[in-house]
């Protein structure tokens, strides 16, 4: 199996700080991958390594078949990058800025207007970038990353500072690109930011890869309990173990509520009992583990393993 990005046993040290420790993964075509971790977990470093902006201390990287730090630029023409806190020279207009980057990628000038339109910046194209709002700068950043139909897109914290409507249109553009076979790597400091859009999640902590898989796979590995909340009648409240059976980890909240943390394999059993004929249950809510809980679980399990 080959991927558009291959990373093998990468270590990167800055002086005494080990920013990335022995990380390996592969990004196949047409996949959206989320790179999640706290600030300083090594996300940006990994992206810079893939761009060839810095060299690994040891290990191998291949992006679109070539070493990004070798000084060959064929691959970079098919690569889009949106840095965290993207900034542009304030004195040029949006159009001029994008035209400059298009020339560097040998893209025709007409693609500039098309891209500005796509990110909704056409009305502001002839205004100086210095007058742009944070969201507009971010959109200009996205536009430059989309230059030249990139096959690999590296987006570093792309949705911070975007309002919900913009975030939605951002994900639409991203989804469209992925449909055309581009590899997408999105980084974020919180899993919830990604709203389940990534097919695969890589969680980083202190430079170590702590988890790698689809959200479903991660949920299975984590074995986080599903929270089941039952609204119970007064009579039922008195003898919960009787009708619910031997369930550990239940507690009473808000008077009439019973909350149960059900392990994945007990979930159905608990639900069956709660909805059984004669069970004193008036209402029921099932809450699967949230992305935040999942993320916290993996970070915590790695911290304790160290």
Q: Is 85 in the site for other proteins (CB under 8 A)?
A: yes
44 CB-near residues (< 8 Å, 6+ apart): 84, 156, 187
Nearest distance, CB of residue 75 and other proteins, angstroms? 8
Beta strand 257-262 pairing with 226-232: antiparallel
Q: What are phi and psi of 124, to 5 degrees?
A: -105, 10
C-alpha 249/C-alpha 82 separation (Å) is: 45
Which two tokens mark 143?
């536009």
Asked if 218 contacts 211 with a C-beta cutoff of 8 angstroms, the reply is: yes
Task: Tell me whether residue 183 is exposed, middle or buried, using C-beta atoms within 10 angstroms of its C-beta: 0 to 12, 13 to 18, 19 or more.
Answer: buried
What is the per-residue binding string for other proteins in 138-167, x denoting contact by CB under 8 A? ---x--x-----------------------
In 3D, which of 31, 46, 1, 2 has the Cα closest to residue 184? 31
In 3D, which of 44, 52, 53, 42 has the Cα closest to residue 11? 42
Nearer to other proteins, 85 or 133 (CB): 85
C-alpha 154/C-alpha 199 separation (Å) is: 15
- Interface residue with other proteins among 5, 7, 23, 51 (CB under 8 A) is 51
- Interface residue with other proteins among 29, 66, 67, 96 (CB under 8 A) is 96
Segment 7 to 26, residues that bind other proteins, using CB under 8 A: 14
Nearer to other proteins, 53 or 286 (CB): 53
Nearer to other proteins, 85 or 233 (CB): 85
Q: Is 272 in the site for other proteins (CB under 8 A)?
A: no
Q: Is 81 in the site for other proteins (CB under 8 A)?
A: yes
- Interface residue with other proteins among 42, 56, 83, 280 (CB under 8 A) is 83
Segment 114 to 143, residues that bind other proteins, using CB under 8 A: 128, 141
Stretch that binds other proteins, among 98-106, 247-255, 256-264, 276-284 (CB under 8 A): 98-106
Which two tokens mark 85?
């806190």
- Interface residue with other proteins among 8, 26, 38, 100 (CB under 8 A) is 100
In 3D, which of 211, 228, 198, 214 has the Cα closest to residue 296? 211
C-alpha 128/C-alpha 96 separation (Å) is: 9
Stretch that binds other proteins, among 26-34, 73-81, 244-252, 255-263 (CB under 8 A): 73-81
Which residues make up the interface to other proteins (CB under 8 A)? 14, 48, 51, 53-54, 71, 73-74, 76-77, 79, 81, 83, 85-89, 91-92, 96, 100-101, 103-105, 128, 141, 144
């Amino acid at each position: 199996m080959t991927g558009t990005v291959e990373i093998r046993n990468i270590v990167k040290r800055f002086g005494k700080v080990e920013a990335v420790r022995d990380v390996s993964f592969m990004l196949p075509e047409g996949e959206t991958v989320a790179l999640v971790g706290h600030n300083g977990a090594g996300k940006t470093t990994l992206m810079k390594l893939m761009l060839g902006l810095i060299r690994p201390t040891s290990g191998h990287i291949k992006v679109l078949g070539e070493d990004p730090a070798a000084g060959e630029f064929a691959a970079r023409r098919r690569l889009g990058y949106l840095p965290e806190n993207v900034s542009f020279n304030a004195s040029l207009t949006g159009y001029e800025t994008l035209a400059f980057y298009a020339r560097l990628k040998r893209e025709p000038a007409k693609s500039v207007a098309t891209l500005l339109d796509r990110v909704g910046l056409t009305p502001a194209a002839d205004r100086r970038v210095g007058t742009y709002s944070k969201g507009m700068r971010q959109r200009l950043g996205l536009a430059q990353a989309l230059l030249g139909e990139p096959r690999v897109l590296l987006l570093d914290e792309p949705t911070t500072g975007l309002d919900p409507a913009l975030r939605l249109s951002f994900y639409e553009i991203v989804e469209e690109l992925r449909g055309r076979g581009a590899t997408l790597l999105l980084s974020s400091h919180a899993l919830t930011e990604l709203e389940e859009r990534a097919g695969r999640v890589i969680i980083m902590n202190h430079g170590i890869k702590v988890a790698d898989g689809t959200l479903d796979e991660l949920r299975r590995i984590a074995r986080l309990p599903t929270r089941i909340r039952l609204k119970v009648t007064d009579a039922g409240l008195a003898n919960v173990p009787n009708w619910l059976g031997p369930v550990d980890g239940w507690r009473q909240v808000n008077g009439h509520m019973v909350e149960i943390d059900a392990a994945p394999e007990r979930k159905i059993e608990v639900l069956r009992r709660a909805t059984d004929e004669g069970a004193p249950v008036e209402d029921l809510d099932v809450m699967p583990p949230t992305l935040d809980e999942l993320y916290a679980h993996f970070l915590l399990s790695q911290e304790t393993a160290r």
